[in-house]
Amino acid sequence: MPSSLNYRIGLIQMSCGPDPDANLDKAADRVREAAREGANVVCLPELFRAQYFCQREDTALFDLAEPIPGPSTERLAAVAREEKVVVIASLFERRAAGLYHNTAAVLHKDGTLAGLYRKMHIPDDPLYYEKFYFTPGDLGFKAFDTAVGKIGTLVCWDQWYPEGARITAMQGANVLFYPTAIGWHPAEKEEFGTAQYEAWQTIQRAHAIANGVYVGAVNRVGEEHGDVRGNRVEGPGLQFWGGSFIADPFGRIVAKASHDREEILVAEVNLRLLEDTRRNWPFLRDRRIDAYQPIVHRFLDASTTGSEK
pLDDT of residue 4: 56
Contact criterion met (CB below 8 Å) for 93 and 68: yes
Cis peptide before 2 (omega within 30 of 0): no
Q: Using CA atoms, how far apart are residues 174 and 27, in angstroms rounded to an integer?
A: 25
pLDDT of residue 307: 55
Q: Which of 11, 48, 9, 15 is nearest to 241 (CA)?
A: 15
Q: Using CA atoms, how far apart are residues 171 and 173, in angstroms rounded to an integer?
A: 6
Q: Give strand pairing partners of 141.
A: none
Contact criterion met (CB below 8 Å) for 278 and 286: no
Q: Using CA atoms, how far apart are residues 159 and 254, in angstroms rounded to an integer?
A: 19
Q: Which of 220, 242, 223, 224 is nearest to 233 (CA)?
A: 224
Instruction: For residue 282, give the amino acid letter.
Output: P
Residue 48 DSSP symbol: T
Strands 99-107 and 86-96, bridge-based pairing: antiparallel
Contact criterion met (CB below 8 Å) for 140 and 168: no
Domain ranges within the chain, ordered by starting residue: 7-284
pLDDT of residue 309: 43
Cβ count within 10 A of residue 60: 10
Residue 45 DSSP symbol: P
Q: Using CA atoms, how far apart are residues 145 and 18, in angstroms rounded to an integer?
A: 35
* 98: CB partners within 8 A, 6+ apart: none
Contact criterion met (CB below 8 Å) for 155 and 135: no
Q: At CA 181, angle to CA 250 and CA 125, rounded to 5? A: 110
Q: What is the mean pLDDT of each run of 10 residues along the chain (309 residues)?
A: 76 97 98 98 98 95 97 98 98 98 98 98 96 98 97 98 98 98 96 97 98 98 89 86 98 98 98 97 96 94 66
3-state secondary structure of 80: helix
Q: What is the CATH number assigned to the segment(s) 7-284? A: 3.60.110.10
Active site amino acids? 46, 119, 156
pLDDT of residue 118: 98
Cβ count within 10 A of residue 28: 18
pLDDT of residue 87: 98
